[in-house]
Amino acid sequence: MSYTYNGQELEVDDEKFLLEPVYDDEIVPVIAGAENIGLTDEHWFVVRYLREKFREDGHTPNFRNMVKDLEENHPGPDWKKHLYTLFPNQPARQAARVAGLTKPFGKGGY
């Protein structure tokens, strides 16, 4: 499987993660559509957050650290529940996939 973007086939791994990150916003609806996710402003907020963390750290946070960071820096919703509403299939992984990032890795989180 691959995603078609700007007339090119982007290679993915066996879990549909891109092999190289793509930061263009136009890729997000392509992948979200394949994941059956209708994008809202809240989805875009999480996508931008994950892209920023990926650029800073070279990887995305695991779910526990993602929830902690969002609760500390963006209080409001119960992020643990809300992320499952936005990305119902393993939120930290599915959100990273939709953001156009590579497969998450990390100790105990994946």
pLDDT tens digit sequence for 50-92: 999 999 999 999 999 999 999 999 998 999 999 999 999 999 9
Residues 43, 32 contacting (CB under 8 angstroms): yes
Per-residue pLDDT at 5: 87
Per-residue pLDDT at 63: 96
Per-residue pLDDT at 108: 41
Residue 110 has pLDDT above 70, yes or no: no
SS3 label, residue 88: coil
User: In the structure encoding, which two tokens stand for residue 18, read together?
Assistant: 């891109």
Half-sphere exposure of 58 (CA within 13 A, CB side): 1
Model-level pTM?
Answer: 0.90
